Amino acid sequence: MYAGLDVGSRTIKFINFDNTVRDSVVIETGVNPLRRCQELLSGRSHERLVVTGYGRHLVASALRGEVVSEIRAFAKGSRYLYSDCHTVIDIGGQDCKVIALSDEGEIQKFEMNDRCAAGTGKFLEIMANTLEIDIRELGALALSASKVVQINSLCTVFAESEVVSLIARGEEVNAIALALHEAITTRIVTMARRVGTKERIVFAGGAALNICLRQLVGQKLGANLAIPTEPQTVGALGAALLAKEFAMSNNTLQ
Amino acid sequence: MTTDNKEMWAELGIDLKPHDALLGALGPIFQEVYLSQKNRPEGMGFFDFVVGDIHGIRVQELRQHAMNGGKVVATYCVFVPEELVWAADAIPVGLCAGTQFSVPLAEEVLPRNTCALIKSSFGFKLGRICPYVQASHLIVGETTCDGKKKMFEILNQYQPVYVMEVPNKKTSLSRDLWLGEVIAFKDVIEKLTGNKITLNKLTQAIKSVNERRRALQRLYNLRKARPVPISGKDALLVTQVSFYDDVNRCITQVNALCDELEKRADSGKGVAPAKAPRILISGNPMAIPNWKLHHIVESAGAVVVCEESCTGTRFFSDLVQNEKPNTVEKALKSIAERYLQIHCACFTPNEERLDDIVRLAREYQADGVVHYNLQFCHTYANEAVQVEKLLAKEGIPLLRIETDYSDEDTGQLRTRVEAFLEMIRR
């Protein structure tokens, strides 16, 4: 078995792989990611482990795993799921990225947000909270909006005060929710245009679970997005595939 | 810290409590970033010592100089012609402005969306935590960006500031303006010091500063070796220290270091494996103690081989051509010409810098370029669009980083740098 672990800011994703995915788990990261990972791995065996995600350096040595960046992991996982994938869009808990792949699947170029939470899952989570809506319902709710309002700010802090004033103006929650999705879409599509997109475009990361984002991003890019069945675990899958690759070539991290 | 230092700082009007906190914070950072490196050249000992006593011995020298009636001239930019300062028996010091520590202080006055370099430098004065600022008799600013330009007006309310006008184009009109600025600066320095800048003194200063430039050129040339005999962090430190150290001592120390590096290079000894990715960093200056990006890049297994920056090649790649001028006027002309060859993003157009990046990437066998941009520095950020286009055409991988002095984005930066290295390693 080859294990991939993606230690994200919000959730930890785990995949065990030999010739196919044998095990797939998503749990909350919590305040002690290392302990979470240890609990996750206990009782599961693997020959080799590759760790990715924001917390990779925190846990890798204790778990005797090798480290790769999320960008490489998502590229690998997406390419495995869709052999014709040329672009990966990943929106996770605290970052978003767009990766361009060559015909051979090599990373040609990528863009990633800097420190701010604009355009990330965290942004939606905070806004869902402000609107008193379950994050899982937010996408469907937005799609049922009967009118269009505008959120101008992408900054999480400013956008939240915009939301508050829209509420105070009596705007319907559905329309506000839609406006928030539009704002994120603008951000990610701008990033995608900078990198340059080529089909097939895979949309991965936790935010790809959101039905409204899937629709808007696809519309804005004028493309049919490929959404993996488990968009959250694409990075962990990529890490597991790299673990296998390293084992086969008997290559520690080059 | 010795009692002598404490007394001196108090005399200079330093706010001792935050100043202690600043030095207290610097120690562990220097330990982690520098002293923990393996395989360092012995010649770095001098530079470690200078940083270890960063507000001590050099400040004492400046104080001694002042007590003997000499003047200290503080600068922020490589455009200020230091030859004129030395020639008037004054001492120029390049101020640091590379730490987050003084940024919150500055934000009490300056707009937050100002670049970290401006905020850091202003905060040092506002908080009275930099003995170099306190020990200087004149601060010389320049017009290389609008933020600095306006900051100098405010800084002038705290300490005398003189601003040189750096033109924004490289036409003959601009050259005339700049020559006029250099001549005017000579008068300012003569008035400040009461010393006449003679041909003899000026020739001597040109020789010394050129000699330091040659020493730094030698250091950078040695970084072209594979494996590289010195880390990027160490080379950056040498450049940073040379901004405020005595020019002749600096020449000796840099050359001693180079002698050692030459032996290393000859015997194929390096600080990183020969196959470690080689990175050229291009963009904004990194004032001491800003080692953030170098530390991230080198901790990820790559090695920085060159800086196309004002704390890099722009500081020393051009010499004052006329080393034996027969009049002061000719000397000033040659000095003015030399400084206008600095390819700063304040110029339009600035194609020479684009050419430099490609040339340096080739000369240093860089596997990739990291474009370093301080947040809110519009000239470099916008010029980066052209850098990106050109490097794509030349097939040189590029990573654009926009950041400041704080540590809050270190995680994201590591991810991007590691992904970039994975990309260029294949």
pLDDT tens for residues B261-315? 999 999 999 999 999 999 999 999 999 999 999 999 999 999 999 999 999 999 9
Q: How far is A57 from chain B (nearest CA, A)?
A: 10
Q: How far is B331 from chain A (nearest CA, A)?
A: 47
Rounded mean pLDDT of B43-57?
Answer: 96
DSSP H stretches of helix in A42-169: 56-59, 70-81, 121-130, 135-143, 156-168
Place of tokens 């590029």: B398
* pLDDT value at residue A121: 87
Asked if A54 lies within 8 A of B415 by C-beta distance, the reply is yes
Q: How far is A52 from chain B (nearest CA, A)?
A: 10
Q: How far is B389 from chain A (nearest CA, A)?
A: 12
pLDDT tens digits for range A9-39: 889 999 999 999 999 999 999 999 999 999 9
Residue type, B111: P
Can you name the residues that pair with B308 across neighbouring β-strands?
A: B282
**DSSP tag of A146:** S
* pLDDT value at residue A117: 72
What does the alpha-carbon distance between residue B81 and residue B161 come to, in Å, rounded to a whole number?
16
Residue type, B186: K
Candidates B408, B423, B425; nearest CB to A115? B408
Q: What percent of chain A is modeled with pLDDT above 90?
A: 78
Residue B303: CA count within 13 A, CB half-sphere: 24
Candidates A70, A106, A254; nearest CB to B415? A70
* pLDDT value at residue B316: 98
Sheet holding B398-403, edge to edge: B303-308, B278-283, B368-374, B398-403
* pLDDT value at residue B2: 59
Task: Report ipTM for this prediction.
Answer: 0.88
Asked if A115 lies within 8 A of B416 by C-beta distance, the reply is no
| Beta-carbon contacts of residue A248 (< 8 Å; ≥ 6 apart) | none
Asked if A69 lies within 8 A of B425 by C-beta distance, the reply is no
Q: How far is B139 from chain A (nearest CA, A)?
A: 34
Can you name the residues that pair with A5 across neighbouring β-strands?
A: A14, A51
Residue B143 token pair: 């017009």
What does the alpha-carbon distance between residue B297 and residue A107 come to, in Å, rounded to a whole number?
19
Asked if A112 lies within 8 A of B412 by C-beta distance, the reply is yes
Sheet holding B161-164, edge to edge: B91-94, B72-75, B138-142, B161-164
State the greatest distance between any 2 C-alpha atoms of chain A, in Å, as a whole number: 63
pLDDT category of residue B362 using cuts at 50, 70 and 90: very high
Rounded mean pLDDT of B224-250?
Answer: 97
pLDDT category of residue A254 using cuts at 50, 70 and 90: very low
Q: Which residues of B fall within a CB distance of 8 Å from A113?
A: 412
* Contact indicator for B287, B309 with CB cutoff of 8 Å: no
What does the alpha-carbon distance between residue A79 and residue B77 come to, in Å, rounded to a whole number?
48
Residue of A nearest to B400 (CA): A111
pLDDT tens digits for range B144-172: 999 999 999 999 999 999 999 999 999 99
Q: Which residues of A fall within a CB distance of 8 Å from B425?
A: 254
Q: Count the neighbouring beta carbons within 10 Å of the beta carbon of residue A195.
A: 18
What does the alpha-carbon distance between residue B181 and residue B215 come to, in Å, rounded to a whole number?
28
pLDDT tens digits for range A160-179: 888 889 999 999 999 999 99
Q: How far is B336 from chain A (nearest CA, A)?
A: 40
Q: What percent of chain B is modeled with pLDDT above 90?
A: 97
Can you name the residues that pair with B282 across neighbouring β-strands?
A: B308, B371
Cis before A200? omega within 30: yes
Residue of A nearest to B301 (CA): A254
Q: Which of B311, B393, B396, B321 is nearest to B360 (CA)?
A: B396
Residue of B nearest to A55 (CA): B411
Does the pTM exceed 0.90? Answer: yes
* pLDDT value at residue B3: 64
pLDDT category of residue A153 using cuts at 50, 70 and 90: confident
What's the burial of A165, exposed, middle or buried (CB within 10 Å: 0-12/13-18/19+)?
Answer: exposed
Asked if A68 lies within 8 A of B416 by C-beta distance, the reply is no
Q: Which residues of A fall within a CB distance of 8 Å from B423?
A: 106-108, 110
Phi, psi of A55 (to 5 degrees): -95, 15
Average pLDDT, chain B: 96
Asked if A110 lies within 8 A of B408 by C-beta distance, the reply is no
Say yes or no: A194 contacts chain B, CB-CB below 8 A.
no
* Contact indicator for B415, A54 with CB cutoff of 8 Å: yes
Cis before B104? omega within 30: no
Instruction: Give which of A56, A68, A69, A193 to mutate to test B binding, by max B Cβ within 10 Å.
Output: A69
Instruction: Provide the 3-class DSSP secondary structure of residue B376.
Output: coil
State the greatest distance between any 2 C-alpha atoms of chain B, in Å, as a whole number: 62
Residue B165 token pair: 């006008």
Radius of gyration of chain B (CA): 21
Interface residues on B facing A, Cβ-Cβ cutoff 8 A:
402-403, 408-409, 411-412, 414-416, 418-419, 422-423, 425-426
Asked if B415 lies within 8 A of A71 by C-beta distance, the reply is yes
* pLDDT value at residue B29: 96
Instruction: Give the number of A-B residue pairs with CB atoms closer than 8 Å.
Output: 43
Residue of A nearest to B401 (CA): A114
DSSP string of B49-96, one letter each residue: HHHHTTTTHHHHHHHHHHHTT--EEEESSTTS-HHHHHHTT-EEEE--
Q: How far is B206 from chain A (nearest CA, A)?
A: 44
What does the alpha-carbon distance between residue A243 and residue B97 come to, in Å, rounded to a whole number?
44
Q: Which residues of A fall within a CB distance of 8 Å from B405?
A: none
Residue B98 token pair: 């590379």
Q: Which of B209, B179, B168, B221 is nearest to B321 (CA)?
A: B209
pLDDT tens digits for range B325-348: 999 999 999 999 999 999 999 999
Q: Which of A88, A142, A104, A126 is nearest to A10 (CA)?
A: A126
* Contact indicator for B405, B120 with CB cutoff of 8 Å: yes
Q: Count the neighbouring beta carbons within 10 Å of the beta carbon of residue B273.
A: 10
Residue A4 token pair: 């991939």
Instruction: Provide the 3-class DSSP secondary structure of residue B196.
Output: coil
Residue B59 token pair: 């400040």
Residue A224 token pair: 């049919």
* Contact indicator for B315, B287 with CB cutoff of 8 Å: no
| Beta-carbon contacts of residue A104 (< 8 Å; ≥ 6 apart) | none
Say yes or no: A95 contacts chain B, CB-CB below 8 A.
yes
Say yes or no: A155 contacts chain B, CB-CB below 8 A.
no
Asked if B412 lies within 8 A of A69 by C-beta distance, the reply is no
Asked if A69 lies within 8 A of B409 by C-beta distance, the reply is no
Residue of B nearest to A74 (CA): B419
Q: How far is A10 from chain B (nearest CA, A)?
A: 15
Residue of A nearest to B302 (CA): A254
Asked if B422 lies within 8 A of A68 by C-beta distance, the reply is yes
What is the C-alpha end-to-end distance of chain A, expressed in Å?
A: 21
Residue of B nearest to A9 (CA): B411
- Top pLDDT among B230 and A92 is at B230
* Contact indicator for B260, B43 with CB cutoff of 8 Å: yes
Rounded mean pLDDT of A83-108?
Answer: 94
